[in-house]
Amino acid sequence: MTSVKKPPAACLIGWPAAHSRSPLIHHYWLRTLGIAGGYVIEAVPPDEFKDFVFRLSLRGFVGANVTLPHKEQALALSKPDARARAVGAANTLWYEGGELRSTNTDIEGFINNLDACAPGWDRAEDALVLGAGGASRAVVFGLIERGIKRVHLANRTLDRARALADQFGASVHPVAWDAVADVLPRAGLLVNTTSLGMHGQPALKIDLALLPPHAVVADLVYVPLETPLLAAARGRGLQVADGLGMLLHQAVRGFELWFGQRPQVTPELRALVEADLKKV
């Protein structure tokens, strides 16, 4: 009897199983690299997550992406790398020597997108990061790792910015939300990690005229693709990095870990996902 080996497959585990662009991204890479493999969405409620992860390989998966509300539980149930530990949340699971490992790819997604969109951005000595939630932790970690001298961290709830500064050390400086304008003139990089500007959320009100002329502006929000912040930055002739670029770049490492080839973020892939976002 000949046994037929099933092609490797990964999944996205979330609850509820919201519409995600990840299958579009991974199917594009599988197709263009000629790899027989799969990527599916798995809706798993919180009380079933532990069991699902323990049986991940028995279910035929070589790994997974993890999204809300499971990212902290994924960290606890696996052997995390330094990045997942620093962020306090894992978004990618894979097997290494039979052991379930985890990482957080938002850090490299953010940094690699900046490198692609605004080479030289890291000449900035001062960065201003807006927001102190989960995504902000990845951004702040990435900026410190890259050697940015001062990361000014402004958040509506100042205590959350303070807690993050306590964790990440002396290069992070908490800033009150109403003091943002004081920091803008020396910010070589401005990053929005809040949900402001997102479809259905209030706009982010900030006077970009105060930024220096060489500043780079990044927004993590990607629905809409062109946020009012990015539109205003482009209007001032500043370099920008958008949230879709980060989303695409953060997907690279998971694919490589599961399927063994490092994929490229191509203009064709971007156009494919952009078209899907326009359906929103």
Under the rule (CB under 6 A), what is the footprint of ligand NAP?
A: 106, 109, 131-136, 155-157, 160, 193-196, 198, 202, 220-222, 243, 246-247, 250
Residue 62 or residue 107: which is nearer to ligand NAP going by CB? 107
Residue 35 or residue 249: which is nearer to ligand NAP going by CB? 249
Q: Is 261 helix (H, G, I), strand (E, B) or coil?
A: coil
CA angle at 90 for the pair 269 and 142, rounded to the nearest 5°: 70
Residue 125: DSSP 8-state: S
Chain position whose Cβ is nearest to ligand NAP:
133
- Which helix (H) or strand (E) segment is 159 a member of? helix 158-168
CB of 57 to ligand NAP, least distance (A): 27
CB of 26 to ligand NAP, least distance (A): 15
Residue 8 or residue 104: which is nearer to ligand NAP going by CB? 104
Q: Is 271 helix (H, G, I), strand (E, B) or coil?
A: helix
Q: Which residue, 121, 119, 87, is CA-closest to 105?
A: 87
Active site residue 71: yes
CB of 33 to ligand NAP, least distance (A): 22
DSSP output for 180-228: HHHHGGG-SEEEE-SSTTSTTS------GGGS-TT-EEEE---SSSS-H
Residue 8 or residue 249: which is nearer to ligand NAP going by CB? 249
Q: Which residue, 249, 257, 248, is CA-closest to 81?
A: 257
CB of 274 to ligand NAP, least distance (A): 13
- Write down the catalytic residue from 71, 79, 149, 279: 71
CA distances from 183 to 121, 128, 152, 193, 242 (A): 17, 7, 8, 17, 22
* Catalytic (active-site) positions: 71
